[in-house]
A and B are shown apart, each in its own frame.
Chain A
């Protein structure tokens, strides 16, 4: 089954404790992206990757890191989480065969930073 898998689904942690949210897709997609969703603000793009070893900042990259060492994986790293990073996070992927390709989303990760 074609899917985007995020882990963990839920996490409560404390300020300053490094964490990683993993994202994996099995569709051989070139493009992957991370979003956060906050009430009233919609989905905002954090980072995206056009292919292996190619990443770029989205609209809200501060406080986040990503890597793309393999095509299927695109982890999101919070080196020193802070309460304002409490949010619902989505990973998405898409084939890059032209711009008219929709994105497939993971189930989401709810992060609470205390």
Chain B
């Protein structure tokens, strides 16, 4: 089983739709979690950290389910500019182990 797994997609959604991605992780000792966004082979950029109680930033909501070992990202009212690949990142043991998922591609269609 991969340490961090994501559905590669692509997810093709119309503008204004709500879309959700999940990311599962295998190491129960994982300590911190992030969602990054990557545009077409450019550098990954932090979208948001994921906190135990769940957190929201505008149209984006991130949640952590430690019991089932997954994190999720919900995007409401999708914009064309949301089209990108979304990477989940899991830190285990401080920075000794940083694992990226392979990413989920989102395409928002007019």
Please determine whether chains A and B interact with each other in the same assembly: yes
Binding site for B on A (CB under 8 A): 31, 33, 35, 37, 40-45, 48, 50, 56, 58, 88, 90, 94, 96, 99-100, 102-108
Given the known A-B contacts A102-B49, A105-B45, are A48 and B98 also in contact in the complex, defined by CB atoms under 8 Å? yes
Partner of A102, one of B46, B100, B101: B46
29 pairs, A vs B, C-beta closer than 8 Å: A33-B95, A42-B100, A42-B103, A43-B100, A45-B98, A48-B95, A50-B95, A56-B96, A88-B41, A90-B44, A96-B94, A96-B95, A99-B32, A99-B91, A99-B94, A99-B95, A100-B49, A100-B91, A102-B34, A103-B89, A103-B98, A105-B43, A105-B44, A105-B45, A106-B43, A107-B42, A107-B43, A108-B42, A108-B43
Indicate if B27 sits at the interface (CB-CB under 8 A). Answer: no
User: Roughly how many angstroms separate A100 CA and B64 CA in the complex, as a whole number?
Assistant: 14
Closest 6 CB pairs between A and B?
A42-B102, A105-B43, A43-B100, A102-B46, A100-B32, A99-B94
Residues of chain A lying within 8 A (CB to CB) of residue B34:
102
Binding site for A on B (CB under 8 A): 31-32, 34, 36, 41-46, 49, 87, 89, 91, 93-96, 98-103
**What total of A-B pairs shows CB separation below 8 Å?**
56
User: Roughly how many angstroms separate A103 CA and B89 CA in the complex, as a whole number?
Assistant: 10
User: Roughly how many angstroms separate A96 CA and B100 CA in the complex, as a whole number?
Assistant: 18
* Dominant secondary structure of chain A at its interface with chain B: strand
